[in-house]
Homo-oligomer: A and B are copies of this chain.
């Protein structure tokens, strides 16, 4: 109590008067554009930024020019003018290829040949023996991407001398999946509620829609699915399509296409039909007409994302049809307008006694080659469900004739909601770098996703959004890095998490090396920390059920077996883990033989996946010599210690960071530390019932009894 009051006093003194800052820093994401403190640096940059000339008059070009002006003027502390013609020297020339005059076109022709339709080039050229910087692309949106890339050079303290940057996105569809409901609740949302204020649309355009589009464009995201995969058909009624159209109009100049989720039973619910059978002529006609209606409003509508016959959602199987029938029927409806169907492979059934981890592959792999050209199958990174760590999904690489889209989860459903600092690009990178061996060595997941392995025409990466209407967008200041990192990886799946962390920290906080180095280290270790204090050594899905908040390894009373944590850890007197080896469910055989062999063998299976693939004796000796029980307990302790270390690092950063964000992160790390200990204590006490072993000496004693942890209930946990 006493301690708490002192804490509050401190908080109030630090916080009480930041009204003038106003959560503004938090709101501005990675586009802070703070004035560069060092005058010499400003002067150096200013020398190359004598003015802006923009060619073209589209909204996109207008936005690009204004963004460039805003960013440069703020960072360099001088208003940079926008002019109508190229001045003497050091002009920033922006415009798409065809809008530039022949002399400039010629100077960048070689580079333009190397980029795709969304790519950009930034090149220092000579005109009349004077240097100028050209930012161009084949289309206006490339120019916009180029402008953000150029601004990032300055934001991250890089040189802008003798530039020759040639860059194109490696995937076609770089898309956020909003699991936003029409009542503005967000499934698995931990940053407040949906940005989409349907009641005030279409007539009220919230500033946030524009700021959202701008933030996305700055990292190359070019699509957004506005609605939850657990879909409501009402979004397809004229009343809502008018609102969707208004959002599409806002997003369009930022290069962002709008997509919707299609509820498979919509023809019944809003169409008045008796069936939604994809082979029924009336159903086909209804979807064709609906597509036509949508495209009349939104000519560049992206298409539909569909969750069908999964977790209670309706689908083609309700009519004795299969996923191919369903997807192709919708694909035909949108094909005339250039639309696509993203069909989710996240399926598992209570009627299927098979290992849940095997079901999606078992169902979808045989469909390879059967989908229409404008269908892409969306596959979660792992075979279960967005766990802190999973082996890559066996479908990756297993469908040479069917493009697969990666589905990452940016929102932290199973990773501590928006109170835990977990830098997800580390997880994303790990998955993308995995070698599927499906077309020999080097067949990485990244190559499946960017289409280079099988030369797919459509490629994409989806991220389940962590964005809500919290002032800081994502609930945790560092969760902004996960939105940022997702976008950057969707653009280039070969980027390193470290590069992303470095960029983001510089754009968001400071270029001071004394800040960057420790905090980057903290970010890069944060993902391993959460794995350690939640689900070390391949454990998975032992979160409390429903909301997935906190530990619940004891839960065993849910109606569907695969909804119970006990299904996943299978702890007993002998040991712990899910035997997916050939002797078990044989899930390993869904991988290429080279991979299957490694996973199948207890000795070669990477320890990070040990309990994912094997039921292992409590006395099994880990590579470091500890028994499994001791090693597991030490991992839990290590996770807690890592969070403590994160706190120590952060506590030293106050002079580099505004007070508001400094204290926000500090408070959140306090919660994370508390909850890491909760995870450790609850899981070890629970598993100890089976191992009957003492905790190693270096593991802290639990602060409460197992009964206490089991008694905790969170009926109003968010996102459920």
What class of interface size applies to chain A in its complex with B?
35 or more
Query: Does A545 have its Cβ within 8 Å of any Cβ on chain B?
Result: no
Binding-face segment, A198-206, A434-442, A600-608: A198-206
List the 3 closest pairs (A to B, CB-CB), nearest first.
A8-B249, A182-B716, A203-B671
Query: Does A24 have its Cβ within 8 Å of any Cβ on chain B?
Result: yes
- What distance in Å separates the Cβ of A80 from its nearest Cβ neighbour in chain B? 14
Residues of B within 8 A of A716 (CB): 182-184, 198-199, 234
Query: Does A214 have its Cβ within 8 Å of any Cβ on chain B?
Result: yes
Residues of B within 8 A of A63 (CB): 12, 16
Given A667-B204, A718-B184; A199-B417 close (CB under 8 Å):
yes
Residues of B within 8 A of A253 (CB): 12
Cβ-closest chain B residue relative to A23:
B207
A23 touches which of B4, B27, B250 (Cβ 8 Å): B27
- What distance in Å separates the Cβ of A55 from its nearest Cβ neighbour in chain B? 18
Near B by CB (< 8 A), chain A positions 228-272 give 234, 246, 249-250, 253
Residues of B within 8 A of A544 (CB): none
Residues of B within 8 A of A668 (CB): 204
Further 8 A-B residue pairs, CB within 8 A, beyond A208-B471, A469-B470? A4-B246, A11-B250, A16-B210, A16-B214, A22-B24, A193-B469, A199-B419, A204-B667
- What distance in Å separates the Cβ of A234 from its nearest Cβ neighbour in chain B? 7
Residues of B within 8 A of A184 (CB): 193, 716, 718
Contact flags (1/0) for A1-26 with B, using CB distance below 8 Å? 00011001101110111111011100
Residues of B within 8 A of A198 (CB): 716
Cβ-closest chain B residue relative to A183:
B716
Query: Does A105 have its Cβ within 8 Å of any Cβ on chain B?
Result: no
Identical copies of this chain, number? 2
Residues of B within 8 A of A16 (CB): 62-63, 66, 210, 214
Query: Does A211 have its Cβ within 8 Å of any Cβ on chain B?
Result: yes
Residues of B within 8 A of A22 (CB): 22, 24, 27-28
Residues of B within 8 A of A234 (CB): 715-716
Near B by CB (< 8 A), chain A positions 173-207 give 182-184, 190, 192-193, 198-200, 202-205, 207
Given A70-B20, A182-B716; A11-B205 close (CB under 8 Å):
yes
Tell me the bound Cα distance from A717 to B203 in angstroms.
15
Write 12 A-B pairs (CB below 8 A) sorted by A numbering.
A11-B205, A11-B250, A23-B207, A183-B718, A184-B193, A192-B193, A199-B716, A199-B717, A204-B664, A204-B667, A204-B671, A207-B664
User: Which of A12, A18, A28, A31: most chain B Cβ within 10 A?
Assistant: A12
Query: Does A156 have its Cβ within 8 Å of any Cβ on chain B?
Result: no
Asked if A31 contacts B19 (CB within 8 A), the reply is yes
Asked if B59 contacts A9 (CB within 8 A), the reply is yes
Query: Does A349 have its Cβ within 8 Å of any Cβ on chain B?
Result: no
A13 touches which of B62, B192, B717, B718 (Cβ 8 Å): B62
Asked if A207 contacts B419 (CB within 8 A), the reply is no
Query: Does A670 have its Cβ within 8 Å of any Cβ on chain B?
Result: yes
Query: Does A681 have its Cβ within 8 Å of any Cβ on chain B?
Result: no
Query: Does A674 have its Cβ within 8 Å of any Cβ on chain B?
Result: yes
Query: Does A74 have its Cβ within 8 Å of any Cβ on chain B?
Result: yes
Residues of B within 8 A of A9 (CB): 59
Asked if A59 contacts B12 (CB within 8 A), the reply is yes
Cβ-closest chain B residue relative to A1:
B297
Given A8-B249, A16-B214; A660-B207 close (CB under 8 Å):
yes
Tell me the bound Cα distance from A203 to B665 in angstroms.
11
Which residues of A approach B to under 8 Å, CB–CB? 4-5, 8-9, 11-13, 15-20, 22-24, 27-28, 31, 59, 62-63, 66-67, 70, 74, 182-184, 190, 192-193, 198-200, 202-205, 207-208, 210-211, 214, 234, 246, 249-250, 253, 417, 419, 469-471, 549, 660, 664, 667-668, 670-671, 674, 714-718
Residues of B within 8 A of A193 (CB): 184, 192-193, 469
Tell me the bound Cα distance from A470 to B204 in angstroms.
14
Residues of B within 8 A of A715 (CB): 182, 234
Asked if A17 contacts B66 (CB within 8 A), the reply is yes
Asked if B24 contacts A210 (CB within 8 A), the reply is no
Residues of B within 8 A of A471 (CB): 207-208, 471
User: Which of A15, A199, A716: most chain B Cβ within 10 A?
Assistant: A199
Given A234-B715, A470-B469, A716-B183; A203-B670 close (CB under 8 Å):
yes
Residues of B within 8 A of A664 (CB): 204, 207
Tell me the bound Cα distance from A496 to B9 in angstroms.
38
- What distance in Å separates the Cβ of A565 from its nearest Cβ neighbour in chain B? 21
Given A5-B249, A193-B184, A471-B207; A19-B12 close (CB under 8 Å):
no
Cβ-closest chain B residue relative to A73:
B20
Cβ-closest chain B residue relative to A29:
B19
User: Which of A62, A203, A210, A469: most chain B Cβ within 10 A?
Assistant: A203
Tell me the bound Cα distance from A67 to B17 in angstroms.
7
Tell me the bound Cα distance from A544 to B498 in angstroms.
56
- What distance in Å separates the Cβ of A293 from its nearest Cβ neighbour in chain B? 14
- What distance in Å separates the Cβ of A235 from its nearest Cβ neighbour in chain B? 10
Asked if A211 contacts B19 (CB within 8 A), the reply is yes
Cβ-closest chain B residue relative to A660:
B207
Tell me the bound Cα distance from A536 to B210 in angstroms.
39
Residues of B within 8 A of A205 (CB): 8, 11, 15, 667
- What distance in Å separates the Cβ of A705 from its nearest Cβ neighbour in chain B? 17
Tell me the bound Cα distance from A550 to B417 in angstroms.
38
Asked if B469 contacts A192 (CB within 8 A), the reply is yes
Cβ-closest chain B residue relative to A74:
B20
Cβ-closest chain B residue relative to A71:
B19
Cβ-closest chain B residue relative to A715:
B234
Tell me the bound Cα distance from A431 to B661 in angstroms.
45
Tell me the bound Cα distance from A190 to B660 in angstroms.
28
Tell me the bound Cα distance from A9 to B190 in angstroms.
33
- What distance in Å separates the Cβ of A683 from its nearest Cβ neighbour in chain B? 21
Cβ-closest chain B residue relative to A667:
B204
Residues of B within 8 A of A660 (CB): 207
Asked if B11 contacts A200 (CB within 8 A), the reply is no
Cβ-closest chain B residue relative to A204:
B667
Tell me the bound Cα distance from A22 to B473 in angstroms.
13
Asked if A718 contacts B19 (CB within 8 A), the reply is no
Residues of B within 8 A of A674 (CB): 203
Tell me the bound Cα distance from A11 to B203 in angstroms.
11
Residues of B within 8 A of A203 (CB): 667, 670-671, 674
